Every structure is written in C-alpha cells, then in structure tokens.
Chain A
Amino acid sequence: MVMTIDAAGMYYRDLNKQIRIAIEEGETEFVLNNINGQRYIGDAVEKKVKITINGTPGNDLAAFMNGPSIEVFANGQDGIANTMNSGEIVIHGMVGDVIGYGMRGGKLMIKGDVGYRVGIHMKEYKKQIPVIVAGGCAGDFYGEYMAGGIMVLLGIGCSDDKPITGDYLGTGMHGGVIYLRGEVEDHQLGAEVAVLEPDEKDMKLITKHVTEWCEHFGYDLNEVMSKPFIKLKAISSRPYGNLYAY
C-alpha cells in the first residue's frame, strides 16, 4: 500500500506524527505532496520504508534516520542526514548547509550543488561506511573534521575559472576519503590533508558510486568519468597528537 499525504499548509508536527503512526501500523510507502519547508521528515525512523517527497522539505530531513529511503523531487535545505545511521536519500536538486553532519552510515545522492560544512564529523565504524555523492560544487569547510566515510564531488556545471569546493577543505580531517572531480588549490586545503592520485582501488570505488549517481539523475557515466579525479586523505589519524605537554 502507498499512503499519499497532501501536506499543503500542514504543521510539521502533525505531518510527522501521521507518518510515525502509519509506520507503526505497517505502512511501508509514502508519497508526500505539496511539501513546503516541513522540518524533520523521516527523523529517527527505524523501518525500511520508502518516502517520496514532492516539494522542498525543511531542515533536518532524515536526522538520526536508520533505514528508510527518501527521494526528494526538488531542492533540499540544511541539516539533511544529521547523525544519520543508515538509509538512502536521493535529492533531485541542490541542498543547503551542514549536510551529513556526524553521519555514520547510509548514502546520500545529490544532483546539484551542496552548501557549506558538508560531511563535517562524518564517521565510519566497521562495515558502516557513509557515502555522500554530489554532482555540483561545494562551499567552504567541505569534509571538516572528517573521521571516516566517502565523499565524492563531481563539480558538474561549476564555472571553469573557480575551484569546485570552497576553502578550509578537509581541515582537521583524520579519517575517510574525499574524491574530487577537478583541481583544488593548495591554499584551500586544511593542513591535515594530502592530495593524492587515485589508484586502481579508488577508481573502482569512484566508478561504483558514480554509476549509481548517474542512474538516479540520468547522466552518462562515460562522460562523467572522462575527467580526472583527485583523492584527499588525512595525513595522520592523530592530527593533534603533539599539541600537549604531559
């Protein structure tokens, strides 16, 4: 069964409550129409339900989420996948700031640009490795304090004379990996990261995630893969080990 909700003018608490109750009663698929800024959709939902969102959801979409797959046919706002545990989010547009904060599992596919502070404090634990793939360019502090996970940024549609991310790229990074389809300048980099050339294993990983991204958004894989990638990794897993006098 699919539950369709017309969310025009609906208060976010009523909307989320309705969804929560329906999930408890066994509903597995939702179509939310006329979403216009309602916050916290999908927060902490445990079941593997599917939620289709027509319209722009508000902040903190899928915070603490654990399992569902969400597809948004519009732009997203700030705080998507905040501390998310598992699940999948596909966004057919651009998103705002602080995407995937502290995210430790699941996947986030974004068609267009991402804002500032994306992937901050992303983590990984054993087999739980979060992934964020975005098609456009990013603002400052991309991957700051990143402790795990995989981020891929494709830079499609970004202007040629500007780098595809902002400054402070990977500052404080001590785990995980960032793949950028394009170049960055040295002054943009945090002191804790090194720029490397992706090896064969990296390319396999990139291809896997980009293939999926292309399928979602209808791009040609060969064309996307035709431009070279660079790889960013933390220099040390203990970036501030020497800061203290014991």
Chain B
Amino acid sequence: MAVELSPVSQIPAEFRVKVDHDRCRRCKRCVLNCSFSAIEFKDKVTPDHRKCVACHRCATFCPESAITIEENPMAYKDNANWTARIRQNTLKQAETGGIILTGMGNPKPYPIIWDHLVIDACQVTNPSIDPLREPMELRTYLGSKPNYLEFENDENGKIKLKTQLAPQIKLDIPVIFAAMSYGAVSHNVHKSLAIAANKMGTLMNTGEGGLHEDLYPYSGRIIVQVASGRFGVHNQYLANSAAVEIKIGQGAKPGIGGHLPGEKVGQEISKTRMIPVGTDALSPAPHHDIYSIEDLSQLIYAIKEATDYKKPVSVKIAAVHNVAAIASGIVRAGADIVTIDGFRGGTGATPAIIRDNVGIPIELALAAVDQRLRDEGIRNQASLICAGSIREAADVAKAIALGADACVIGTAALVSLGCRVCQKCYTGNCAWGIATQRPELTRRLNPDVGSQRLCNLLTAWGHELQEVLGSLGVNSIESLRGSRERLRGVGLDKETLDILGVKPAGVGM
C-alpha cells in the first residue's frame, strides 16, 4: 500500500508567470483563458506558478501584453547529468508511484538527420526551371502499382489499358494529415483536418477512435484506421473511407498500445468508439488476431473482401531496428501502402520512457525500407508514406528524395491550429482547444478558421516544394522520388551515409 504523503508537493514550479501589474487592466481574460487553473483573481491577477505549463494562451490573449512566461531559473540547480527533467520525473514518481506520461514528440537532442542533408541545385550546364512560369506537378498516386502495363485495342482500334490497376488515391500534394483520434484531439480538430484535406486534395486519418458521422461527407478524403481495440470499426466506417489503415505501431510509442482514460469518454466519443460512456478505451499494442505476417495478410484480405477490393489497404508501423524486413513482409502480405512512423513522431499520450528511448529515426528507417524493397524488386507493389516529425517542406523534399511517396504531418498541423507544444496533451486540458474534450475549450477552435490555417500551411509548403523542384531542374515530384543522388550529407558518419545511400557533400555525381 502507498504511504499517505504530505499534501505539499515537493515538485518545484517549472515556469514563472510574470504579470506586469502596471499594464494589467484587470480584464481577467487571462484567468478565463488558463485551462490549467494557474491564474486566479484575488484583488489582482495572481498566478499559481506550479500549475503553469507554458502553453502561452494567457500571454497571447492579454490585450495589454502584460503577461510573460519564463522558465523558473532556480527550480533545479544547473547540472548537465541530473537534468531538470530527470529530477522532476524522480519527484513525480516518488509522489505517485506511476509511469511518467507525456504528450507530443521526443524532445531529446538526438541528431536530426534531415538537418544534415542538403539538396542539389542546377547550375550552368543543366538549366533550373522557373516555377513561377512553368507548370510544376505535385500530384502523386498512392496505391499498389503493377509490375508492367499491358495495352490492347478496343473495337474502334484505339489503344487502351488492359492491366487492371489496384485502387489508387490521387493526392494533389504529397502531404497527408497524421492519424489523430477523436478522443486524443477534439471534434473541431477532426473537422478542420477533414475540410482542409478535402479542399487541398489530400487525406486525413481518423486514428483509432472511429469516425464521427459529421465527417461522412468528407469520406473520400479520409483514411480510416483499424487498430487492436477495433473502436468504431464497422462496415459503414470501412465503406466511408478513401483507404483503410491497419495500425500496428506508432513512432512515438512503438510496441505499446493506446489508452483513452474513461473520464474522456463522453457522449460523443462513446458514440464514435461505440463503447459506453466512462469506460476506458484500451487498445493494446498487439492485435490479438495477428501473430505473424500470415495473420496480418488475413486481416488485410478480410478488409479487402469487406470493401470489395475498392480501397487501398495501408499498414502503419513504427520505425524499429528490423523495419526493412518487416516492411518487406507487409508488402508481400498484400498491403497497398506502408506507413513508417519515426521515433520523433507526436502523440496524445505515451509513457515518456517509450517516446524518448524506443525506436529509430525515420530518415534511416525510410532509406532502409526503400532500399530493401528495391533490392527485392517489390518497391512498386506498395506506396511508402513517411511520418514522424516532418517539420517543414524541406523535410518533405528530402523524404521524397530518400524514397517516400508522401509524408504525414501531425504536430506541424496542430501547431498551425495553435498548439504551442507544451506537451500536456495527456491531461485533456489543452488551452488551445486541440487535445481536449472540455466543451468550453474545444469551442476555442473554429473549424472554418482551423481548416483555412491548414490550407494556408499546405499551400505554402506546396509553393516551397515547387521552388525546390525548380532549383533541381525537374518539374514533378515523381521525378524527385528516390533520387538520392540529389542529396548530400553534411557531418554524417560513413555508416549513416551508407544506410541513407547518400554521398557526403563535396562529392560529385
């Protein structure tokens, strides 16, 4: 039994909320905006520093700019080994005896390989292309491609395609919104994503929480997920989709499952997940019907049968040491799309120990998988989607040059909706109305505004990708795919360069 501890927590405040009382006009807007109850009004604005998570909601909405949030300088005396994070977690565990939970992506300073890759450009002998004048093609098609194409003449003597193509999804931009469940994020986030995906000709992904019927009108642009808990999965759900994804793993939490605590399962979530209000939604890592590639194949084909072979079936896995062999098995099991999620990917909630220490960087996983599938002559049989902390258009361009067909963005999409990466998503108190189900908070995100911000982000990335293509002297994203010659590594060791299949900077073609 746990010993009753003193009611005073020993955990020091991480941040300090500074209020400039000369500027403050006592409108109390900060009090209303702080969903973590870190600000009260007692004669004047009075912060409780310990509760502040640095989400910056109060500061953003203070009409007098009277609030600043600072790190608490002496919360933990400086020490490069016993970092503040480690000491804070020790205290939390001493007080609760529990697993340290966290949200969003891995914050540890592992090398970010994207930032050690540079892109080629044309000079003198091969002209670059001006994207302002010339058409630039960002279109791409997801789905299994045949080994070869056969043609025949129709009755009028015209040539037509004889080969029956597997179902394909047309993307106008090779950037897809990541799987984020309704439950982890609010309904308004889902709606923003669905509207934006529809407008921009790309896709959103339900995650493992089912699909709210409000989103059925956008179903042509929605990937629906089938995870181990099978929440909200039924034949209408499968039918109302652009593709069906079997979730095996997630980059932020490879090898572990999801868990939506009962207190977040309210009326609407209970409806989409099809479970009673207030019960835990446990979705453990293993699908209890999948213990082998053959079992996976069985589920892939059950889904293909259930959708009459009209939808591509995707399999999502986390980037792990043996990812290339696993991906090869998945393609041979009949998947049309393989999504690989790297260890810097975000999440609504996961044990910090998993997020920060398990898995491998997406750059290495992607390169290894693409190479393996090429070596085995099956790269055409499935599209490759790259996920796990794609932060900017440059990451997309580099991923495509390393072999990805498309990239997935989760955190970037949420940041465009207001997320300040305070990493408290698991508390359900998100002040920006994103990772929360509290109605007074979810109202803060207007889906029309949200979808416009997402569209703007993708439009901007689209322009940037076109600029990159132009500088490379190619006019379509297809021409960049798998073009590792057009990348060079800076400051990477030989082994890493070998896995990436990229030469060091300074070496010519």
Contact = CB atoms under 8 A, between A and B. Distances in A.
A78 B100 CA distance: 38
A11 to B, nearest CB: 12
Given A82-B289, A175-B276, A64 B270 contact: no
Contacts of A240: 259, 280, 282
Interface in B209-242: 226, 228-230, 233-235, 238-239
Contacts of B302: 39-40, 43, 60, 63-64, 79, 82
A83 B230 contact: yes
A111 interface: no
Interface stretch (A96-104, A159-167, A177-185, A199-207): A96-104
Given A125-B275, A237-B279, A102 B230 contact: yes
Nearest to A126: B276
B280 A174 contact: yes
Interface size class of A (residues with CB under 8 A): 35 or more
Interface string A136-172: 0000010011011000000000000000000000001
A85 B239 CA distance: 14
Nearest to A84: B234
Nearest to B290: A98
A interface majority secondary structure: loop
Interface in A217-246: 237-246
A118 B406 CA distance: 39
B100 A245 contact: yes
A39 to B, nearest CB: 7
Nearest to A65: B235
A66 B235 contact: yes
Contacts, number: 136
Contacts of A59: 298
Interface stretch (B13-21, B91-99, B116-124, B449-457): B91-99
B289 A98 contact: yes
B101 interface: yes
B238 A44 contact: yes
Interface stretch (B305-313, B317-325, B475-483, B498-506): B305-313
A102 B284 CA distance: 12
B306 A64 contact: yes
A113 interface: no
Contacts of A172: 282, 284
B262 interface: yes
A65 to B, nearest CB: 8
B101 A245 contact: yes
Contacts of B98: 242-246
B305 A44 contact: yes
Contact of A246 (B101, B229, B299): B101
21 contacts: A13-B305, A40-B302, A43-B302, A44-B235, A44-B305, A59-B298, A79-B289, A82-B289, A98-B289, A121-B229, A121-B288, A124-B276, A145-B282, A148-B275, A175-B275, A237-B262, A237-B278, A241-B262, A241-B280, A243-B98, A245-B92
Given A63-B306, A82-B289, A147-B279, 20 more contacts: A39-B298, A39-B301, A40-B305, A43-B306, A59-B298, A63-B302, A64-B235, A64-B302, A83-B234, A104-B234, A121-B229, A123-B274, A124-B276, A144-B288, A145-B288, A237-B262, A238-B280, A241-B262, A244-B100, A246-B426
Sorted from nearest, which 5 A-B pairs have the closest CB atoms? A102-B230, A44-B306, A245-B98, A245-B96, A125-B274
